[in-house]
């Protein structure tokens, strides 16, 4: 005899991100590999930009310049950062910040909090 209502329990998906991503709304961009690409999403731990057509590969470390212009009438956040490339493909580059100094962490976190409070 088969029990029709008993099935294998599937656990709920787990959110593994350490920080919620914010979708970029203004003229924010990343300069990576000598090319500029608009920021697609960003968080306190990383950034994703699209379209990207450079030559970086997953696992590679790279130096980028991140310019976030998310808050109107305020000076943009302009940072030189090291990232570890996590994903490249389908016209997208995603990277995780690597070895942030305490000063840079504080700058990114405070800017993130201000942007998140405006949404």
User: What pLDDT does residue 112 have?
Assistant: 92
Residue 10 has pLDDT above 80, yes or no: no
pLDDT at residue 37 greater than cutoff 80: yes
Helical residues (DSSP H) of the chain, grouped into ranges? 102-118
Q: Looking only at Cα atoms, what is the longest distance across the chain? A: 70
Higher pLDDT, 33 or 7: 33
Q: Between vectors from CA 94 to CA 108 and to CA 30, what angle results, nearest 5°?
A: 60
pLDDT tens, residue by residue, 41-79? 999 999 999 888 888 899 999 999 999 998 888 889 999
* Domains of the chain with CATH codes: 22-118 (2.40.10.220)
Distance CA 109, CA 48 (A): 17
**Residue 92 bridge partners (DSSP):** 89
């Amino acid at each position: 005899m088969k029990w029709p209502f008993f099935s294998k329990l599937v656990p709920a998906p787990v959110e593994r991100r350490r920080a919620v991503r914010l979708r970029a709304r203004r003229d924010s961009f990343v300069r990576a590999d000598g090319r500029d690409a608009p920021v697609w999403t960003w968080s306190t731990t990383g950034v994703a930009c699209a379209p990207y057509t450079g030559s970086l590969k997953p696992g590679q470390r790279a130096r980028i310049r991140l310019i976030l212009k998310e808050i109107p009438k305020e000076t943009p956040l302009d940072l030189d950062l090291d990232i570890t490339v996590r994903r490249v493909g389908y016209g997208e580059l995603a990277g995780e910040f690597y070895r942030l100094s305490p000063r840079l962490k504080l700058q990114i976190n405070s800017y993130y909090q201000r942007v998140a409070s405006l949404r």
